[in-house]
Structure 1
Amino acid sequence: MRIGIDVGGTNTDSVLIDGTQIVRKSKTTTTENITNGVKDSLRAILPSGDNNLDVNAVMIGTTHFTNALLQKNRLATTAALRLCLPATQMLPPMVDWPKEMKESIKGYTYLVDGGFEFDGREISPIDKDQIRKAADDMANRGVEAIAISGIFSSVDPSQEQIAAQIVQEETPHIKISMSHEIGRVGVLERENATILNACLSTTSDSVVRAFREAVEELSLGSALFLTQNDGTLMDADFATKYPVYSISSGPTNSMRGAAFLTGIQNAIVADVGGTSTDVGILRNGFPRESSIAVEIGGIRTNFRMPDVLSIALGGGSVVNTSPIAIGPESVGLQLTQQSLLFGGSIRTATDVAAAAGLVNIGNKSLLSEISEEDIKSSLNLMNVMTEDVIDRLKFNADDIPVILVGGGHFLIGDYLTGASEVLRPKNGDIANAIGAAIAQVGGQSESVYSLAEMSRDEALSDATQEAKKRAMSAGANPKTLMVVDVEEIPLTYLPSNAIRIRVKVVGDIPEIS
């Protein structure tokens, strides 16, 4: 058996799955203390006396790390060490970061000798004394975490690894993140992703520790996994080291759950929650990843993130009149206090849906102020908002299946422009928790290869082995590994027949004896 838990902005969903059968499910309001909410969810699906169930693993998708970045709360004092000189001096680390974010982590920066060309030739050798001097200065400044990045370290990570070893020897207490393990090709965005990972290190320690305690408190004896941004899992130890991989796992959990519930591997999935609707594309059963830089709190990054668009449409979205407008304001967690259905004074999208007979909750006698014309106009606008996102995500004019999941799926109609069919799977309201429960462990690699130096097959083999290595590091059973995606992009602007190769590998979680 497996337990899947997904912490959303409004609700925390949980499910107990035995094979492909849903044994028990729960939906509770997300608490301010997310850890307590996770404990409550575990208790809800494991009533007293059921603690001896054979639960193999607990998978959790959490908003802890997203909230920490957005609220600039509990972030580690962080330094960035770039191996680059004499190159890139005009654009130092965090050059385009929002001022408040940079100040919240102190944001100390150090530029030292090092870096590579795209084909692995050194820009300059590293200077160990420079690195030791920088490490000593970090210790004196009270730095808690360091992000080490080197130019084209994704081609050759050796300099980053040597620098990390020196920093570890000089300052054993500092947590180290290396860019070749986190981001993709593109030094500034990869560096940004690594700095974000580093500043989340103290939060990840406390969060994973709390989750472990919650599992142990119920005497489950289960392995603990956190969900990643690409729809796969990582074990607790891996999550402690790479918290940035969980920043946008909520939408991907829902997409994986939608694929499981419908058996459809290629579709658009709209997850309608209490505050927003997240829309993404399933490709071969996995969320399509963004091919461009993704901003997180105003910071450009390039690590693996889902290609998801969000709109301000959810069950708690405020509906204004004259003219009809929906969002971006939302009552969110206060739906049962502030919406008309429950005696409040704010008209929400759920009020409109209830007035139209699409959902049966609350006291409908309190909705007399909503006219038939307002109902029609509001529901039409909700459909138009969804259709616009569908059109933006599609690569061609062909219609594609649309799967509606999430607690607010009733807000969207059965007929949408651009959709070949609209599906509402049973248990779609907890698709996010199901997606977490059925996920596999994943690993990914991306690097630039010169085909003048090696054959295409050798390059593919190298990238595949690296992806498998990362999947095993994340907790995958080596005997179950399989390649699910390979992407090759010729880099015509570089000499030596350069090519960028990205490989994704997944595997099952190990069986617990």
Structure 2
Amino acid sequence: MMKYRIGVDVGGTNTDGVLIDPTRAAEQSRGVLAFHKVPTTVNVSEGIEAAIRQVLHSSASDPSEVACVSIGTTAFINAVLEADPRRLCKVAVIRICGPYTRQAPPFLDFPRRLKRLMDGHIGYIDGGIEIDGRPIIPISEEQIQGQCEIIKSKGLFNIVLSGVFSPLDNGGTNEYAVRDTIVGILGPAVNVVCSRDVGQLGLIERENASILNASILPYAQRTIRGFSRAMLALNIAAPVYITQNDGSLTTAAKAAKLPIRTFASGPTNSMRGASFLAGLDHQRGVGQPAIVIDVGGTTTDIGVLLPTGYPRQAASYIEIAGVRTNFAMADVQSIALGGGSKIRQADSGAIVVGPDSVGHQIQSEGMVFGGNILNTTDIIVAAGKARVGDPSTVSHLDRTLVEKSIATINKHLERIIDRMKVSPEDINVLLVGGGGIIAPDKLSGVSQIIRPPFFDVANAVGAAMAKVSYEIDTIVEIKQKPLPEIMDKLKSLAIESAIAAGAEPSSTRIVEVNNLPVNYVTNQSTRVIIKAAGDLSPSPTHILDAVESERRYGDEVLDNGTEPINEHLEAPEAPVDVNTYRPSIRADKVWVLSEIDLEWIGEGCNILGAGGGGPSYPAFLMARQLLREGKSILVVDAENVPEDALFARCCFMGSPSVSSERIQGGVEIPAAMQALKQFMGFDDFFGTISDEIGGGNGIQPLIMSGMLGKVTIDADLMGRAYPHMWQSLPGVFGIENGLFPVALADGVGNALVMGRARDGSAVETVLRGACTEMGSKAAVTFPPLTRLTCQKYGVAHTVSQAWRMGRAVALRRQQSNIRDVVAGLLELQNGACLFTGKIVDVRREVRKGFTWGEVVIAPLSNDELEYTGAISTHQITYGADARLIVPFQNENIYAYIETSGSEAKKIVAVVPDLITVLDSQKGVALGTPDYRYGLRVTVIALAGDEKWSKTEAGLNGGGPKAFG
């Protein structure tokens, strides 16, 4: 009878195995019949085989009694965290984008060392699609051939294809078509990763994840091949599964193609294993959240367990080794600190711990085992805090070195704990992992450290108790039935399918919901992705299919034999102290922006965008790159420049949904500016100003002034973001040159100038139609305005206000006090906290150049709360059955509360005030395209400028009347 489950975790140092009888999970032993730990071997199959063979022997079990084997591993993410050139390969990245995205090239936000290891080639070819499904430019076979010749000449075998709006390409006309052509030219030996298979909308984040996936692919294939080989040697006929980032199972064949989806499976397994072993899964809703620290031999992984016993899900984006990505996974942070981390002294005298580790060679290279490489375990033994190996081999170590090393280890742990906390109160810590001896008994910010039973194999336990999931990915038309009705049916189908695949019915629930607009203009279709997951049934009647072909899928990839890069050792750069940082102001009162200034301004622009203005992150990267190239970005106060100085206006119009995909190529704004110059006959200008400070548009003038050697005035013409072109203050007040002449350009050779218009609405109607035809995004330039006019019909000091807001978020993040972000923002601008909860529904569509829709937010249940009490003195009260609904048109327009059993709607905020949705876990503002099912959010309202709220023209142009 097949009744047992085997869980295996392959770490950088140890391989853990555990045998569990799930029918005895409620017993004190938690059903653990046997466990074993062996050093991870170079040939991973040997370590897996040894661990499983031992647990079968210890429990006197027969291989025929094994129902399934679930394997999790940190090996892949360890390779990235350590930047190990023996396991990471160079990658060729080909953007399918036409003329777009070049101002934010691949690898732009990668840490420098990872970029050097992975950046093999960057190429651009025609192709990509607009948000309405039309091609940007037809794909060129000749360009593909040219890229293949370059890739072949460089000896590259791992290729990433990153196409604009590729997640919406359901006909396979872009990435898949280019992939087939490349394989036809270069042969089947190349690995081609299509970004649409890796992530969702958000070109930079999706591409980043694809690059990591491609770089680790050969090593992952070799490793997973070893998994299957071990099962053959053990004569285990049960199916082999690999655990994914979300704790669910996937087949070995699928994991070999997309190892990125298993990167965080080790940490997720540890968290689920810790919850299972500590009995939290039987105490849902009881107690407080806890932090799980899993200390391995190479890395330490930290996540948050909610009172439900489930890991906290990642926020709107996550970072892996400093690389920003956006795929779904548990909120886990990993640092290169483990029981085998090497200890060195930097040139400055500072102690450096890691990032490299002796790993599985600790018993031959560690000093307490007779080796000569000093590592964290040696330090702990020398301090008398553990007895491992031969303590006499480290008795000679200098006490100052030992004390400094321990202080550095503790500082690393305390810092990562602080980053994971959302409030400053002390929190309980569940400590698991075989490297846990390096963790002290007390840490700052921690109330108590708990080591559950079998704590050193919690990751293997989590793998054994992994979930079954089922994902529906389909295109639906909403002409005949409303989207909510369709979604409800698909959710039910996903749950039924997960149960049929082996999930235990009572634990199965929806864990992910996404709807992506496709061709809304023509047939009102949307791509729907729904995922259900549940615990594997103790006695499943059906287990996920595993095919024999999984055991054979290509030649084994060998290590390339290169040694790690020998770089000059430096202590890690200390993070900026927000409290003491001061911006650089020259003697002539010109503000010289730094990278930190740009980061904070971008953060503040998102807050002031009220959901619109486009994402600021790509624009921030472009501006930061200008600084790294030696250019200066300067900001001036209006009072310090002549009254008649002209300030050029530049921004993008269109749907925010487009901005995160069809990133600017660098030619759009210059093309629009050139067309306007020719029409109006002006030659030069003093500086730049934005029509709207909100979102990415708030940074565009900084980019332009940096490129041209100009200055940017500390002001804008809106004080926020609005959807309509005429909704700038010069537009609503109807001043000369306020809205026209106006130039529009799309970057593919199309530019037009509208010289005259009946009124502002005519400008909107004509150019919005043109913008829609241009793919719902185009660069806009309006006539330059004098400094005096900018002051009279603008909002002063909005660049510095964005900086202050970004600083407020950074300060609370540094203090591990994210819940206080709202209070910090409300100290800077009058407002109120409207609602705190999680997104339970999102409806959106792209129509006539706008993103329309609404987001529905429900309060958190008691077992989802990470803290209690008000987060601001200006907080609206509501009941547990309340829902906050925020309709949006590019920007959030108004917010109202509905209560179950009542038809009344209580409006709590409306334009011209700003309504901003914050990610509760990071404190960052979300754009309307970022709204996603399950995200924890806090909604705030900020007072609009008095030119909007206390003038007739402002209220008519920016108040409720303007939106019907």
TM range (shorter): 0.7 to 0.9
SS at match of 1:109: strand
- Preserved contact between residue 433 and residue 455 of structure 2 (Cα < 8 Å): yes
Q: 1:271 to 1:95 in 2, by over 3 A?
A: closer
Per the TM alignment, residue 27 of structure 1 is displaced from its structure 2 partner at its CA by 0.9
CA gap 1:217/1:99 in 2 versus in 1, 3 angstroms: same
1:35, 1:210 within 8 Å by CA — same for their partners in 2? yes
**Is 1:409 the equivalent of 2:433?**
no
- Partners in 2 of 1:361 and 1:224 — Cα distance? 35
Output the CA distance in 1 between the equivalents of 2:369 and 2:214: 44
Matched, 1:257 2:273: yes
Q: Give yes or no for the alignment of 1:440 onto 2:458.
A: no
| Structure-2 change in CA distance of 1:478 and 1:110 (3 Å) | farther
Q: Which residue of 2 aligns with 1:271?
A: 294
Structure 2 vs 1, CA of residues 426 and 371 (structure 1 numbering), >3 Å: closer, same or farther?
farther
Distance 2:363 2:255 in 1: 35
Relative to the length of structure 2, the TM-score reads 0.44
Partner of residue 18 from structure 1, selected from 18, 21, 31: 21
Q: 1:291 aligns with which of 298, 302, 316?
A: 316
1:327 paired with 2:353, answer yes
Alignment match of 1:3 (pick from 2, 6, 31): 6
Partner of 1:217: 233
Conserved 8 A contact 2:298-2:337? yes
| C-alpha contact 2:118 2:215 (8 A) present in aligned 1 | no
Q: Is contact 2:264-2:332 (8 Å) kept?
A: no
Residue 314 of structure 2 is aligned to residue 314 of structure 1:
no
CA shift, 1:270, in A, is 0.9
**How far apart are the structure 1 equivalents of 2:249 and 2:202?**
25
Which residue of 2 is the match for residue 280 of structure 1? 303
Instruction: Indicate how the Cα distance of structure 1 residues 94 and 50 shifts in structure 2: closer, same or farther if over 3 A, else same.
Output: same
Deviations along 1:78-135, whole A, 9 cap, x unmatched? 6545443353344454566669867867536342233233xxx2463663xx354455
The residue identity in structure 2 corresponding to 1:7 is V
Instruction: Give the corresponding residue for 1:164.
Output: 176
* Aligned residue in 2 for 1:58: 69
Aligned match of 1:510: none
The AA in structure 2 aligned to 1:309 is Q
- Rate the CA distance shift 1:303–1:350 in 2: closer, same or farther, 3 A: same
Does the CA contact (< 8 Å) of 1:57 and 1:222 recur in 2? Answer: yes
- Which one is further off, 330-339 or 230-239? 330-339
**Which letter maps to 1:34?**
V
- Find the counterpart in structure 1 of residue 250 from structure 2: 234
Task: Determine if the alignment matches structure 1 residue 194 to structure 2 residue 197.
Answer: no
For the structure 1 residues 94 and 24, does the alpha-carbon distance in structure 2 shift closer, same or farther, using more than 3 Å as the test? same
Instruction: Measure the CA separation in 1 of the matches of 2:399 and 2:120.
Output: 55
Larger Rg: 2
Q: Percent of pairs identical after alignment?
A: 35
1:52 is matched by which residue type in structure 2?
A: P
Contact 1:326 1:349 in 2 (8 A): no
* Structure 1 position 301 matched with structure 2 position 340: no
In 2, distance between residues paired with 1:109 and 1:218?
46
Whether 2:138 is the aligned partner of 1:115: answer: no
Q: How far off is 1:184 after superposition?
A: 3.0
Partner of 1:327, secondary structure, is strand
Query: What SS does the aligned partner of 2:327 have?
Result: coil
Stretch moving more, 283-292 or 272-281:
283-292
For residues 203 and 273 of structure 2, the distance between their equivalents in structure 1, rounded to whole angstroms, comes to 34
- Structure 2: how far apart are the matches of 1:323 and 1:170? 51
Q: Single out whichever of 107-116 and 262-271 deviates more from structure 2.
A: 107-116
Q: Could you tell me how far 1:482 is from its partner in structure 2?
A: 2.1
CA contact (8 A) 1:62 1:250 kept: yes
Letter matched to residue 419 of structure 1: V
Residues 193 and 453 of structure 1: CA distance in aligned 2, closer, same or farther (over 3 Å): farther
CA RMSD in angstroms comes to: 4.5
Tell me if the contact between 1:15 and 1:25 (Cα under 8 Å) persists in the aligned partners: yes
CA drift at 1:240:
2.5
Q: Distance in 1 between matches of 2:117 and 2:400?
A: 50
Kept after mapping to 2: 8 A contact 1:281/1:287: yes
- Tell whether the 8 Å contact from 2:467 to 2:503 is kept in structure 1 after alignment: no
Q: Aligned pair 1:30/2:28, yes or no?
A: no
C-alpha distance in 2, partners of 1:465/1:126? 40
For residues 241 and 332 of structure 2, the distance between their equivalents in structure 1, rounded to whole angstroms, comes to 23
Give the CA deviation at 1:462.
9.0
Structure 2: 5+ residue stretches without partners: 26-30, 282-288, 516-605, 614-655, 657-850, 853-887, 889-927, 935-964
Q: 420, 441, 449: which is aligned to 1:422? A: 449
Structure 1 residue 343, shift from structure 2 partner: 4.8
CA distance in 2, matches of 1:411, 1:14: 22
* Secondary structure, aligned partner of 1:85: coil
Is contact 1:51-1:219 (8 Å) kept? no
Using a 3 Å threshold, how does the CA distance of structure 1 residues 200 and 462 change in structure 2: closer, same or farther? farther
Q: Give TM-score, length-normalised by structure 1.
A: 0.77
CA contact 1:404–1:424 (8 Å) conserved in 2:
yes
* Paired residue total: 492
Q: Structure 1 residues 132 and 163 mapped into 2: Cα distance closer, same or farther (>3 Å)?
A: farther
Q: Given that residues 11 and 75 in structure 2 are in contact (C-alpha distance below 8 angstroms), is that contact kept between their aligned partners in structure 1?
A: no
Q: Which residue of 2 aligns with 1:508?
A: none
Distance 1:275 1:500 in 2: 34
1:390-447 C-alpha deviation (Å, 9 max, x unpaired): 2221111233321001113233334433334321011111111111111113467999
Name 1:85's counterpart in structure 2.
98
In structure 2, do the counterparts of structure 1 residues 479 and 376 end up closer, same or farther at CA, with 3 Å as the change threshold? Answer: closer
Please list the CA deviations of residues 239-269 of structure 1 after superposition, one character each: whole Å capped at 9, or x if unmatched.
Answer: 1231221233322222221111112363201
Unpaired segments of 5 or more residues in structure 1? 505-513
Tell me the residue number matched to 1:42: 52
Distance in 2 between the 1:181 and 1:251 partners? Answer: 23
What is the CA deviation profile of residues 22-68 of structure 1, one whole-angstrom value per residue up to 9, with x for unaligned ones?
A: 12211111222223322333333334985434212112223554466
Return closer, same or farther for 1:125/1:314 CA change in 2, 3 Å cut-off.
Answer: closer
Partner of 2:565: none
Quickly say closer, same or farther: Cα 1:71–1:389, change in 2 above 3 A. Answer: closer
Distance 1:289 1:5 in 2: 24
Q: Distance in 2 between matches of 1:446 and 1:300?
A: 24
CA distance in 2 between partners of 1:170 and 1:380 (Å): 52
CA distance in 2, matches of 1:55, 1:217: 15
Letter in 2 for 1:12: T
Pair 1:230–1:46, CA change in 2 (3 A): same
Q: For 1:171 and 1:192, how far apart are their aligned partners in 2?
A: 22
Q: Which residue of 1 aligns with 2:631?
A: none
Distance in 2 between the 1:346 and 1:78 partners? 32
Say which structure, 1 or 2, has more relative contact order (CA 8 Å, 6+ apart): 1
Q: Quick check: 1:180 aligned with 2:196?
A: yes
SS at match of 1:56: strand
Whether the 8 Å CA contact 1:115–1:159 is kept in 2: the answer is: no
Q: CA deviation at 1:305?
A: 4.9
Distance change in 2, residues 1:446/1:88 (3 Å): farther
| Partner AA of 2:434 in structure 1 | G
In the alignment, the residues of structure 1 paired with residue 267 and residue 338 of structure 2 have an alpha-carbon distance, to the nearest angstrom, of 14
1:294–1:305: 8 Å Cα contact kept in structure 2? Answer: no
